[in-house]
Amino acid sequence: MHFILISGAWHGAWCWERVAALLEAKGHRVQAPDLRGMGADRTPLAAVSFQDWATAVARVARASGEPVVLVGHSRGGIVVSQAAELAPEAIHTSVYLAAALVPDGLRMADVFATARTDPAVAAGVRLRADGVSTDLDPALLPTHFYNTTPPELLARAISRLTPEPVFSNAAVMQLSPEKFGRVRRAYVECLQDRCVPIELQRKMQDALPCQHVGVLDTDHSPFYSAPEALAEALIAAAPA
């Protein structure tokens, strides 16, 4: 299979380093592109849009030459969904890893507002002086994002986070049954997630059921806390 891995808010392609190596060792093709303005891509966020992200991911999927497994972590879920609307013919399965699975016409903010989430998470998201991006209170990372991750990998993650554009929370999903709806969906739950709690993960699946559900007993960041288990879960989510 060909996996395309899309990172979540404040993260970049770097977060997939351990999982990508494990998937490749099992004979799979892997790409982990940085979204514009994220990770190693230094495009100013004021010059980027949500549509830019979705269009770029759809383009990568179409260029594969075979149907891909498109994996979105956390905020990456909305990017995966919109890319599936743009290029359904290029996608074998969309996999949502503790991810935002948002119906047509709604925003990620709308869905999260319906759930009981820890108020510390919202309080720890800080608007930056540029007015177009946010960063995270570092105190949230060990308690809510990386609570089952080894300390040395937590430190590695903290050193590599970058600002997140405010448009990601406000982007309205534009999805249709004919395009997005025809792509097979899978969800991978994270039971010890304190950022996107399991109750919210399952509420989103109730609204948009998935054909396969995997479960990891991890925090919100299994790419670092349990990469071997995550690699197996991604393979299981998209059988050949």
CA 150 to mean position of chain CA atoms: 21
Side-chain-facing half-sphere of 226: CA atoms under 13 Å: 22
Residues 6 or more apart from 183 whose CB is under 8 A from it?
84, 88, 91, 93, 94
Q: Of residues 193, 219, 221, 225, which has the active-site annotation?
A: 193
Instruction: Give whole-number Cα distances, 150 to 72, 155, 156, 221, in Å.
Output: 23, 9, 10, 11
Task: Give yes or no: 92 in active site.
Answer: no
Q: Of residues 2, 73, 92, 220, which has the active-site annotation?
A: 220
Task: Give yes or no: 220 in active site.
Answer: yes
Q: What angle do CA 196, 199, 202 make, to 5 degrees?
A: 95
Q: Of residues 11, 34, 73, 74, which has the active-site annotation?
A: 74
Q: Known catalytic residues?
A: 74, 193, 220
